[in-house]
C-alpha cells in the first residue's frame, strides 16, 4: 500500500490517502499533507485539451494515488453529473477585463459542492475496506454545512452532523440546513461563532474517551471541512479547469501566467490554488481577499497571525472566521516541510492566540500571496457597480474578492476572481446593495424583488425552500456539541 500522507506537525506515522480521508485530521491535531506534491506535476497541455471531469480524474489520480483509476472514475461520474446546472460544471465568464470562475452551479449553490459532491464518494470507497460506520462532524459558517448535508444525506454507513453559529448565517443558508431531510443527518446551531464550532469539532476529534466509546460501537469520526484532504483535493480541479477554459477561448496563451483572487476565511479555497501552482499550473499570484475579519490580510502584511481581535458579523458570513485552519498547510509547504516549526507555531496559536512567522519564510509566502480587505460598505458598492456597469450579479463573498482585485495593480497576467456562491443565497443583502430598502421584507420577498429588479432567476433549490419544512431546531452551547453528536451517532447507527 502507498503510504504518502503525514501530519503537518510530525512525520512519525504515514498513512494512505484513503486513511487520511477517513480520519479527517491527524492524531496529533495536524493536517494531513503529502510530500509528493512537488514531484507529481500535471501535464498542462493534456489538461487544456480535456473537460472538467477528465481534469478532476487527472488531479485526483495525482493527489490520491492509492485509489485506483476505476474507483476514481466512478467517483467522478457520480460527483459531476446532472445535479449541476451548467455542463461546464464551473464556467469561466467575463467580468470587464477580468474573469469570474463561477463555482455555484451545484446542488447547494456554493463552491463547496465541487468537493462535497465528491467527498462522499471518496469516503465510501475508503470505508469499503474498513467496515466502520463514519460520522461526519462538520463546522460551518454557512455554506459547507448544507453542501455536506446534501452530499452525505442517504449515503450508506455514513452520518453527518453539522454545527452552525446560530444567528450568524444568512436566512437562506439557515433554511437550507434546517430543512434538510434524511435519516442520517443532524443539524444544530451553537451559541457562539464558527471558530467556537470548529474549535470544538477539533477537540471532539482529539477526545480519546469519546472516540474510543464510539469505536466500541464500530463508529469512526471524520470531517467534511477543508481540514480533510478529501475536501481539498477536488478543489484543485477548478483552478486547472479554469486555466484550460481560458486557453481554449484564446484569452491566455498556453503556458502564460494567470492570477487568482480568492475570497477566503478558512484558507482552504486559496490553498487549493497553491496546490495547483505546486502541481505546475502557471499561477503568478494568489490574492487573498478578506472581509472585516481581516486576520489573514494582517498576517500577510505583518507576518504575525493574531486571532485576539473583535469578531465582526458581516454581510459575507461564510468568511466570518478568525482561525484559518489551512494556513497550517501553507506554513508546512512554504517552510519546506518543517514540522517542528509548524508544531511550535500552532502551539503558540493554541496557548496565546498568536504567532509570528520568521521573516525569511514570510518573504517566500509573499512571493506568491498578496492580500486585501473590503468593508461591508465597499462590498455593497462593488455589488452595485458590477450590476450597474457590467450587468453581472454577484454575491457578497465574490464582491469582497472583486473589490480587492480591482484595487490591485495589473501585472499583465489574466486575472480570475473566484465566484463562490449564488447571489440568491444572500438575497436581502444583495438587494439592499442595489439600493432597495429591505426593511420588513423576508428572505423570499427579497428573492422575488431581486428577480424582478435584475431579470435573473433564483435557483429552484433556493426558491423552493419557501415550501420547506423546518426539521431541525436544536441550538446548544459549545460544551454540549459532543453530547449532541454522540446522540446523533446513536440515532443513526445503533
Binding site for ligand LJ64HWYM (CB under 6 A): 140-145, 194, 225-226, 265-266, 268, 318
Q: What are phi and psi of 64, to 5 degrees?
A: -125, 70
| Segment holding 415, helix H or strand E | strand 414-419
119 vs 126 by CB, closer to ligand LJ64HWYM? 119
- Minimum gap (Å) between residue 102 Cβ and ligand LJ64HWYM: 17
Q: Are 358 and 232 within 8 A, CB to CB?
A: no
Is the separation of the CB atoms in 39 and 248 below 8 Å? no
Residue 148: CB minimum distance to ligand LJ64HWYM, A:
8
Cell of 368: 506568491
Can you say how many angstroms the Cα of residue 96 is from the centroid of all Cα atoms in its chain? Answer: 26
Strands in 184-264 per DSSP E: 185-190, 219-223, 258-263
Least distance (Å) from ligand LJ64HWYM to the CB of residue 321?
A: 6
Name the minimum Å distance from CB 302 to ligand LJ64HWYM.
Answer: 24
Instruction: Identify which of 241, 223, 244 has the alpha carbon closest to the alpha carbon of residue 232.
Output: 223
- In the complex, the smallest distance separating the C-beta of residue 212 from ligand LJ64HWYM, rounded to whole angstroms, is 26
In this complex, which beta carbon is closest to ligand LJ64HWYM, that of residue 252 or of residue 421? 421
The least CB distance from residue 128 to ligand LJ64HWYM, in Å, is: 25
> CA quadruple 326, 329, 330, 335: dihedral positive or negative?
positive
For the chain, the 3-state helix, strand and coil shares in percent, each to the nearest 5, are: 50, 15, 35
SS3 per residue for 271-335 = HHHHHHHHCCCCEEEEEEEECCCCHHHHHHHHCEEECCCCCCCCCCHHHCCCCCCCHHHHHHHHC
Q: Which one of 18, 112, 202, 425 is the catalytic residue?
A: 112
Q: Least distance in Å: CB of 161 to ligand LJ64HWYM?
A: 14
Strands 133-139 and 219-223: parallel
Distance CA 420, CA 415 (A): 16
| Annotation marks residue 364 as catalytic | no
C-alpha cell at 423: 447571489
Alpha carbon of 148 to those of 114, 121, 238: distances in Å? 11, 12, 19
Enzyme catalytic residues: 112
Amino acid at each position: 500500500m502507498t503510504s504518502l500522507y503525514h501530519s503537518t506537525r510530525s512525520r512519525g506515522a504515514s498513512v494512505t490517502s484513503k486513511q487520511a480521508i477517513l480520519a479527517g485530521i491527524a492524531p496529533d491535531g495536524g493536517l494531513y499533507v503529502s510530500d509528493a506534491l512537488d514531484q507529481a506535476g500535471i501535464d498542462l497541455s493534456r489538461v487544456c485539451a480535456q473537460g472538467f471531469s477528465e481534469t478532476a480524474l487527472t488531479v485526483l489520480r495525482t493527489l490520491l494515488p492509492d485509489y485506483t483509476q476505476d474507483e476514481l472514475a466512478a467517483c467522478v461520474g457520480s460527483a459531476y453529473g446532472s445535479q449541476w446546472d451548467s455542463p461546464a460544471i464551473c464556467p469561466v465568464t467575463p467580468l470587464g477585463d477580468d474573469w469570474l470562475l463561477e463555482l455555484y452551479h451545484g446542488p447547494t449553490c456554493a463552491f463547496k459542492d465541487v468537493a462535497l459532491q465528491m467527498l462522499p464518494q471518496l469516503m465510501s470507497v475508503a470505508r469499503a475496506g474498513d467496515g466502520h460506520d463514519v460520522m461526519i462532524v462538520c463546522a460551518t459558517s454557512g455554506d459547507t454545512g448544507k453542501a455536506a448535508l446534501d452530499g452525505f444525506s442517504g449515503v450508506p454507513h455514513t452520518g453527518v452532523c453539522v454545527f452552525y453559529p446560530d444567528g450568524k448565517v444568512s436566512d437562506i443558508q439557515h433554511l437550507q440546513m434546517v430543512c434538510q431531510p434524511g435519516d442520517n443527518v443532524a443539524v444544530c446551531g451553537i451559541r457562539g461563532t464558527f471558530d467556537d464550532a470548529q474549535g470544538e469539532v477539533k477537540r471532539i476529534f482529539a477526545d480519546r474517551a469519546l472516540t474510543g466509546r464510539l469505536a466500541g460501537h464500530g463508529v469512526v469520526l471524520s470531517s467534511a471541512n477543508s481540514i480533510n484532504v478529501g475536501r481539498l483535493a477536488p478543489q484543485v480541479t477548478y483552478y486547472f479547469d479554469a486555466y484550460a477554459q481560458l486557453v481554449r477561448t484564446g484569452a491566455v496563451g498556453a503556458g502564460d501566467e494567470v492570477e487568482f483572487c480568492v475570497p477566503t476565511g478558512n484558507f482552504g479555497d486559496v490553498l487549493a490554488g497553491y496546490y495547483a501552482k505546486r502541481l505546475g499550473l502557471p499561477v503568478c499570484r494568489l490574492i487573498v481577499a478578506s472581509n472585516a475579519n481581516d486576520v489573514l490580510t494582517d498576517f500577510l502584511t505583518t507576518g504575525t497571525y493574531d486571532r485576539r481581535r473583535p469578531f465582526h458579523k458581516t454581510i459575507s458570513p461564510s468568511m466570518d472566521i478568525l482561525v484559518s485552519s489551512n494556513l497550517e498547510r501553507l506554513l508546512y509547504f512554504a517552510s519546506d516541510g518543517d514540522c517542528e516549526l509548524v508544531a511550535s507555531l500552532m502551539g503558540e496559536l493554541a496557548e496565546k492566540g498568536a504567532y509570528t512567522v520568521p521573516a525569511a519564510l514570510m518573504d517566500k509566502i509573499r512571493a506568491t500571496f498578496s492580500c486585501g480587505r473590503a468593508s461591508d460598505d465597499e462590498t455593497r458598492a462593488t455589488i452595485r457597480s458590477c450590476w450597474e456597469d457590467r450587468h453581472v450579479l454577484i454575491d457578497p463573498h465574490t464582491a469582497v474578492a472583486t473589490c480587492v482585485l480591482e484595487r490591485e495593480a495589473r501585472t499583465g497576467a489574466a486575472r480570475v476572481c473566484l465566484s463562490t456562491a449564488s447571489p440568491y443565497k444572500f438575497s436581502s443583502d444583495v438587494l439592499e446593495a442595489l439600493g432597495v430598502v429591505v426593511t420588513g421584507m423576508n428572505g423570499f420577498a427579497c428573492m422575488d424583488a431581486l428577480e424582478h429588479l435584475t431579470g435573473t432567476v433564483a435557483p429552484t433549490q433556493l426558491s423552493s425552500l419557501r415550501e420547506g419544512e423546518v426539521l431541525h431546531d436544536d441550538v446548544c452551547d459549545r460544551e454540549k456539541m459532543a453530547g449532541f453528536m454522540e446522540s446523533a451517532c446513536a440515532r443513526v447507527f445503533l
